[in-house]
Amino acid sequence: MFIDKIKKYFSEKDKPTLGALEILKYIGPGLLVTVGFIDPGNWASNIAAGSSYGYTLLWMVTLSTLMLIALQHDVAHIGIKTGLCLSEAATEYTKPWISRSILSSAVVAAVATALAEILGGAIALNMLFKLPLKIGAILVAIFVLWMVFTNAYKKLEKIIIGFVSLIGLSFLVELFLVKNLQWNLACAGWITPNVPPDSIPIIMSVLGAVVMPHNLFLHSEVIQSRQWNLEDEAVMEKQLKYEFTDTLVSMLIGWAINSAIIILAAATFFQKHIKVDDLAQAENMLRPLLGNNAAIIFAFALLCSGLASSVTASMAGGTIFAGMFKEPYDINDKHTRIGILITIVFAVIAIFFIKDPFQGLIYSQVFLSMQLPWTIFLQISLSSSKKVMGKFANTTKEKIILWVIAVIVTYLNILLLINFARSFNLI
């Protein structure tokens, strides 16, 4: 499906091409989704992968990005074709007991996501200013609520793009500081699947949790920010192409940043035989290896990641909750505001009951692992329905590809859940 679109995109020489300036006008919605792909949870998994196995597991970033492009591209089509986000479409086209059950669990998943994102921001504030985690969590939450309640979507989009740019720039600087990068091993790692002994838990944590429920709901909503014409099929066909460009470019940026995290960990920690599975530990270890500036840049990038991903998690919570009432995301609407408040306030309350921040991140991922398959199954059933999508419903080939991805992601998340349960002696 999306591979065919890539080939078609670069082979249409007889048709008018998208001008660079014209494309830039449509870049944005995909980058909001990319923030969820480079959140603090991903950082922890990538650092563990690089510090434990060097460049060997870079292939999982490539595979996860391909799966992400397919699923995000598919869910964006629901928003473009129907004018409804995934939550609204579920409420409109499925039985109430089905939609209410899945969407209620999706709201809880948004809370779990926000918990991890806010916690990541709080950890960064602790690294930079030695603030206690709970105080840092409150400050991050206040910042997020101020951002979403006082800024229109267009401005939020620009701010998020700024955060992503700062994160990317930070890792470029980090990589510049490393003197012993082995790009030949990195290139091989990107395209060569390799499963070293005892690496399955880390592979599952990255591949199994890369697609996050809240991002699927959010992308189907924010893609409508361009207010595309849903009546003219010619216009819609053109906008679908713009959407794919936005998704492809944005996911490749996420791929580059996640790769940079693994490469940094491989070139520093792995070379020194240091295994790292905690963000705070990574920052402390970078200081003697690369110097104080490297540690500060790392903490700054983590802060940008935590703040940006917390904002998008809150927006997703507002989107899901409003959709349960057949309403779009609108910061002036009470249901959107209630959804945002539920997401952020309950996340902060949960943080106050967490004694071990690392365990907090683990438990949040466990719930996401439990909820994610239901969201993916819901999405594919809607995007494959002619009643919902009309002529734009998924073809048989597209259905097969999407269901294969759904099964892989579900299987990995189940294994991840089992692994967590065993690690805590629950089974």
| Domains contained in the chain, CATH given | 20-423 (1.20.1740.10)
pLDDT of residue 226: 61
Tell me the per-residue pLDDT of 320-332, one tens digit each, with 9 for 90 and over: 999 999 999 999 9
pLDDT of residue 32: 83
pLDDT of residue 228: 54
Distances (CA, A) of 247 to 152, 159, 201, 421: 22, 18, 28, 35
Q: How far apart are CA 380 and CA 157, in angstroms?
A: 27
Region for 211 from its dihedrals, namely left if φ exceeds 0, alpha if ψ lies in -120 to 50, beta otherwise: beta
In this prediction, the residues of the chain whose per-residue pLDDT falls under 70 are: 1-28, 208-209, 225-236, 358-359, 362, 426
Q: How far apart are CA 62 and CA 352, in angstroms?
A: 36
First to last CA, the chain: 39
